[in-house]
Homo-oligomer: A and B are copies of this chain.
Amino acid sequence: LDLLVELRPAGGATLRARLEDEIRAAIRAGRLAPGTTLPPSRVLATQLGVSRGVVVEAYAQLVAEGYLGARRGSQTFVAARPALPAEASAARPASAPAPRYDFRPGVPDLSAFPRRAWLAAGARALGGLPDTRLGYGDVRGAPELREALAAYLGRSRGVVAAADRVRVTGGTRQAMALVYRALRARGVRRVAVEDPGWAPLARAAADAGLEPMPVPVDDDGLDVAALAPLGAGAVVVTPAHQFPSGAVLAPERRAALLDWACASDAIVVEDDYDAEYRYDRAPVGALQGIAPDRVIYAGSASKTLAPAVGLGWLVLPRWLALESGGSAPLLDQLALARFIATGELDRHLRRTRRRYRRRRDALLAAVAAELSGSEIAGIAAGLHAVVRLPAGCDEAATVANARALGIALDGLADFRLTPGPPALVLGYANVPEPSIARGVAELARALA
């Protein structure tokens, strides 16, 4: 028998632990093939210059772990098991260099994240917390945050919410998975989604066993008349600022949508993702405030603070209890609760609203000056706008050209379920004004 393993020095580890590690590594790496008989403990101990007890204990440990087997007569061998064929995991592209201009929609100004205030809120929340609160809490979320959200959403968005109707989530994706599961349990089979729309909404519906049904969107938002023939039991809408078209759902459409929901006993899921930002008039209240038993309201801190905060919320109708599913980390919940209750969030929103309005205006001016023949839409609210390209433009080629120039943006086709005229989606909240002007000027060279 040859020497199978050698005891390489490993700071602080016992001889036995080092021997175990070596044998495990050899088995994993395939150096010790399944079925191989190991040397008797006495022999290996002599080979390695250790006491026999070290080898006996190491073998026993590895038998306990299943790496080795023991036959009658105390022969020790490498346990054998067939392996699963390795299926390729999705290949990931090497990370591209950072774009010079990043107009991708969906993020607020990340440099504005109030790091110091956020850390202070978290430290103060943890400082005063009784030990028992560090255990498992209410899966619906920390009471402090649910109270703070109920008050905040009531005063800022017209949402009718008592704290016990608020469900804290890990963000809109997790929230929608919960909602879709509840809808399915309620008997819903088809769910209408906006087209164009945020693709993960439709994907998550399909994941939950629902059939997503695209509904067209125009300048007045979701085409409610197109809903009726679909036989959907629910619809997911972005009334305050449609994503990605930027349309605000028109008053008559709002009424018609709720009428449709009542007439067909359907549920409206209101994704209020960036409604805190409205520039041309006072914000329109949430649909939920008009029909709180018909509307499931979803929001998050991703657009008001940053996606890294990782918190979202639902306001649920009285007939719906969502007590399964995961919860969000308590310490973040308490930090956000304090952030809202102390007025920090309002202060932050006042600051960023002014900034985003200036950036929006810079985008409007730049598009008018540089992209002749284009038309900008969706500018009343939110953090992004849509630039409709002149007829005959090739959207895909324009997007590709722009990316080659170091300008990151999305084409509207990236969000469409059915084809439509060429357009670009430009997020402006995370781009400083001088870069907006320069970026759009360079974008003019990309038009194809």
Contacts and interface: CB of A to CB of B under 8 A. Distances in A.
Contacts of A391: none
Interface string A53-77: 0000000010111110100000000
Interface in A313-355: 317-321, 323-332
Given A287-B66, A327-B171, A136 B106 contact: yes
B326 A134 contact: no
A135 interface: yes
A87 B318 contact: yes
Interface in A389-427: none
Interface in A294-318: 294, 302, 306-311, 317-318
B282 A17 contact: yes
Interface stretch (A38-46, A108-116, A144-152, A230-238): A108-116
A324 B207 contact: yes
Given A61-B282, A132-B98, A321 B81 contact: no
> What class of interface size applies to chain A in its complex with B?
35 or more
Number of copies of this chain that the complex holds:
2
Contacts of A158: 24, 65
A90 interface: yes
A62 to B, nearest CB: 9
Given A66-B255, A287-B66, A323-B90, A84 B294 contact: yes
A123 interface: yes
Contacts of A330: 307-308, 310
Given A66-B254, A81-B262, A134-B113, A319 B171 contact: no
Interface stretch (A1-9, A173-181, A362-370, A439-447): A173-181
